[in-house]
Amino acid sequence: MKSSAFIAMSSAAALMLTTGTAFAADSVTLSALPVQNFAFCLSSDAPLTLSDTLATEVGVVVTNVGNSLTNNTGKIVVAANNFYGKGAGSEWTSTMGVFNLAGGNCYNVASMNKTTSPGAAPWNCASTSGAASGSGATMTGLVSAQTQVQTIFNGFLPSGVSSTLNNAPVVNCPY
């Protein structure tokens, strides 16, 4: 009886080991990161600096959502695209750069990219997140490619930030 149980367990262990080895030989494909936006409120006027980090098309939309981090509508105040003036759609109003934001408001940040330069490829909404940094904030947009996570933009506010929220409502993505 003991030898039957030992043989059965040894066979199961050998099968699991073989199966594990077979899976390890396959390439790993990442699943998509969850789409999320980042929100922050400003107690005073502040410059927001945005920069893209990829050669493919990147868009960042900043929406003034009033006085609450969780509002899901508002007025677009920044529609930056690294291909602005070089093939990006007419909905984009600037390239990446520095934008002055009015204090006393909350803002929602959405980021997105295409796997190509401007054209027919669909937008991939990113996982946009951030954190307080001194009296300011930093933010980043991430997307998952098949085998890696890529940063598509970085943003920085040096001061004036009174509150921040990750997992903010998805507003204006795709744009």
| Euclidean distance between CA atoms 116 and 7, whole angstroms | 55
Give which of 104, 102, 82, 100 is closest to 92, Cα–Cα.
82
Are 53 and 149 spatial neighbours (Cβ–Cβ below 8 Å)?
no
pLDDT one-digit tens code per residue, 68-98: 999 999 999 999 999 999 999 999 999 999 9
Token duo for residue 91: 């909905």
pLDDT at 69: 97
pTM above 0.85, yes or no: no
Greater pLDDT, 167 or 31: 167
pLDDT at position 146 is 72
3-state helix, strand, coil in the chain (%, to 5): 15, 45, 45
Residue 172 is predicted with a pLDDT of 94
Q: What is the mean pLDDT of residues 120-138?
A: 94
Q: Is 20 helix (H, G, I), strand (E, B) or coil?
A: helix
